[in-house]
Structure 1
Amino acid sequence: MKYLPFLLFMLVINLSAQPQAPNRIDSKGNKQGLWKKYDKDVLIYEGNFKDNIPVGEFKYYHANGKLKSITLFIQGVHEVKTTIFHANQKKASEGVFMDQIKHLEWKYWDENETLISVENYDHGKKTGVWKTFSPTTGILLEELNYLNDKLHGTAKTYYTDGLPCTVENYINGKRNGIAESYFIDGKLSITGPFHEGFKIGIWNYFDQNGKLRKVIEYKKSEIIKTYLVFYDRSQEIKLNQDGIAYFIFENNKTNVITKKGESITITDDPYTVKEWADVFSFIPVNSKLHVAHSSIKGFKEMGDGSISVEIIPALPYTIYSRGDEATMVKMLFNKELPKLE
């Protein structure tokens, strides 16, 4: 019996050295230490509390037992870093919550763990660089800059091979400054300035060979003047679109007839002419004649399905039109839209 006090002392020491049971609540009703939350024997989360406040790392699980997310409580619930996982346990997203709203950098991955986007926030508001990547190649597809939830700074998009597609500049959510668009091979297609979201000044349009083809002057996104640019071999010929009556295609050359009756020879082929003198201002009357809407003054049914077309300045021979081309001429004088079948 003389050893009983010693044995009791050792028992107390051993018990106090063992880890405390999970899900402990202290005398004040606060959660303390390790907690494990279950739903019908399925672990939902596990983590540590101090005075009812989560601290350190918490793990959350799917109903099938797989890891759903890991949350690191840095300043209680004030600042929290979270990593979320796909069903295959690959990382899906990672970032910081500040007072339960997104803050600083957030990254997102697909199920193959390929980075697909990067976002930046300032207490829930989009601020800083946002990037989008191709999930198949990892190539940057879009790079935007934000300030207080509005686009601010340079905005760039890219083709799937990484070559530039568009470059724009924003101030407080509105496009300002020079904008550029590119063909898929990286050559410049369109360039011009914006002011407060409106197109202004001179905009230049190029073909895929790098040749200037159209110049449009804007005022608050309204077209003031349009110039078409053609070529006689290497010589550039810039013409006011409103002054062009029609184009005549013959003998491997193109003659431009102005509304004043002047004739200008260019070496551009019919396909190129029709591409830039487009259907919004010109239509093909037949295979050899491409006419401005305003230069077509009337037509007459010929009884065989064709029509004769009156144009100005007049040509020394009758102009005939058939098929789809005749239909387009008639539509210029038909105030009703064609019926859909």
Structure 2
Amino acid sequence: MKNLLMFVLFLVGSHWSVLGQNKTDAAGRKQGPWIKYQGDGTTPLYTGTFKDNIPVGEFRYFYPSGKVKMIVKHETKDRSYAWFYSEKEDLMSEGQYLKMKKDSVWKNYAYDGALLSTETYRSDQLHGERKVFYTQGQMETGEIKIYTVERYLNNQLDGSFEAYKMSGSLEETGLYVKNLKEGYWYRYYPERLNKDELKKYLEKCKKNGTIPEE
């Protein structure tokens, strides 16, 4: 008898839980908890809460397997923060959305959790610095070493470029203008330039009227 009562209470609770989801008001605006299902009708596509048709709080999006694909926390009407995951549940990237477009600095991760790169966005376009990091040994030592630094303007490479060795010493520098390399590019070796680079360096010094450094 006790088991039967528990089963009835479970069914009633489930019934009211379903009734409390996917509601719209008289104006047709989404209100309260929502679950949208994938094509199979049983696996959630996303879960979350709406207020006056606006997402609030935490939303979760799912792969067809049912594993979490993305978590979004809506901080304000226009601003939210998102985490993307692989089907193996590894964090792949995280960053901020402003009016549903990527904004500010986003972080991308390797499968072992090492920081792979950081990218600066404005209105869904790369705009600002993009840094790529060495992943070797990062998880063991906790040390993050820069591999390359690029600058973007309206989703195009535009500005100075630097590449670094794992030791931290400079390996290459140059300039991009609208996705194209501009002017002289230099590769650095321990305490010396190669013949062509030295020639270009001396020509540049002569043109600028500067004295070459020893």
Shorter-chain TM-score above 0.5? yes
User: CA contact under 8 A between 1:34 and 1:48: conserved in structure 2?
Assistant: yes
SS of equivalent residue, structure 2 residue 64: coil
1:247 is aligned to: none
Structure 1 unaligned runs (5+)? 1-17, 193-202, 206-213, 219-341
- Paired amino acid for 2:135: P
1:124 is aligned to: 124
Q: 1:22 to 1:156 in 2, by over 3 A?
A: same
Post-superposition offset of 1:89: 1.6
Post-superposition offset of 1:30: 1.8
Question: Per-residue CA shift, 1:244-291, capped at 9, x if unaligned?
Answer: xxxxxxxxxxxxxxxxxxxxxxxxxxxxxxxxxxxxxxxxxxxxxxxx
- Paired amino acid for 2:193: S
SS of equivalent residue, structure 1 residue 81: strand
Question: Per-residue CA shift, 1:9-59, capped at 9, x if unaligned?
Answer: xxxxxxxxx987122222222211111222322122111001122112101
Post-superposition offset of 1:217: 5.6
C-alpha distance in 1 between matches for 2:154 and 2:168 = 28
C-alpha distance in 2 between matches for 1:132 and 1:161 = 15
Post-superposition offset of 1:178: 6.4
C-alpha distance in 1 between matches for 2:88 and 2:98 = 28
Q: What RMSD over aligned residues (CA atoms) do the two structures have, in Å?
A: 3.1
SS of equivalent residue, structure 2 residue 49: strand
Question: Which structure's residues are more often strand, by fraction?
Answer: 1
Asked if 1:163 corresponds to 2:169, the answer is yes
Question: Which structure's residues are more often helix, by fraction?
Answer: 2
Question: Per-residue CA shift, 1:284-318, capped at 9, x if unaligned?
Answer: xxxxxxxxxxxxxxxxxxxxxxxxxxxxxxxxxxx
User: CA contact under 8 A between 1:181 and 1:188: conserved in structure 2?
Assistant: no
1:31 is aligned to: 30
Q: 1:144 to 1:45 in 2, by over 3 A?
A: same
Q: 1:187 to 1:150 in 2, by over 3 A?
A: farther
1:21 is aligned to: 20
SS of equivalent residue, structure 1 residue 127: strand
Structure with higher RCO (Cα < 8 A, 6+ apart): 2
State the TM-score, normalized to the length of structure 2: 0.70
2:141 is aligned to: none
SS of equivalent residue, structure 1 residue 188: coil
Post-superposition offset of 1:86: 1.8
C-alpha distance in 2 between matches for 1:21 and 1:191 = 75
Post-superposition offset of 1:165: 1.3
SS of equivalent residue, structure 2 residue 65: coil
1:87 is aligned to: 87
Question: Per-residue CA shift, 1:59-106, capped at 9, x if unaligned?
Answer: 112222221111122344x43322101222221111123333322111
Structure 2 unaligned runs (5+)? 1-15, 139-144, 205-214
Post-superposition offset of 1:216: 8.2
State the TM-score, normalized to the length of structure 1: 0.46
Q: 1:64 to 1:143 in 2, by over 3 A?
A: same
Asked if 1:70 corresponds to 2:71, the answer is yes
1:102 is aligned to: 102
Q: 1:215 to 1:34 in 2, by over 3 A?
A: closer
Post-superposition offset of 1:179: 4.1
Asked if 1:148 corresponds to 2:154, the answer is yes
How many residues are treated as equivalent by the alignment? 180
C-alpha distance in 1 between matches for 2:64 and 2:152 = 38
